[in-house]
Amino acid sequence: MEQKIREQLEEHFPKNLIKQRDSGFGKFDYLATATVIQRLNDVLKSDWSFEVVEHIRDEYEIAVLVKLTVGDIIKMQWGSASIKCKKNSTKIISLGDDYKSATSDALKKAATLLGCG
């Protein structure tokens, strides 16, 4: 990867794009998936792709392995999400949303391997 592209991917994000979430262990900073995708599109001129390679589901969690490809560079990373159920119930709210969350998590983690975020 060209040094200039790497530097553009590694540029700090403006503070207004950095979100905060309470994890139960304290607050942590994160970027919205759309923000990371926009950076990849802007810097790489949309010349990148990703695919879900594998997914695992148990009773409580989904894990997704994605492959992020930029030219001849391939980065793979796992992401996960808890399966959300209705309060005081085992009825799942939206399994599709949980898979999407795990996939988004994996994509953002793979993008960090390129220096993005």
Position 70 pLDDT exceeds 90: yes
pLDDT tier at 25 (50, 70, 90 boundaries)?
A: confident
Q: Tell me, what's the pLDDT at 76?
A: 98
Phi, psi of 110 (to 5 degrees): -65, -40
For the cut 90, the answer to whether the pLDDT of residue 24 exceeds it is no
Q: How far is CA 35 from the centre of its chain?
A: 10
Residue with tokens 């390679």: 53
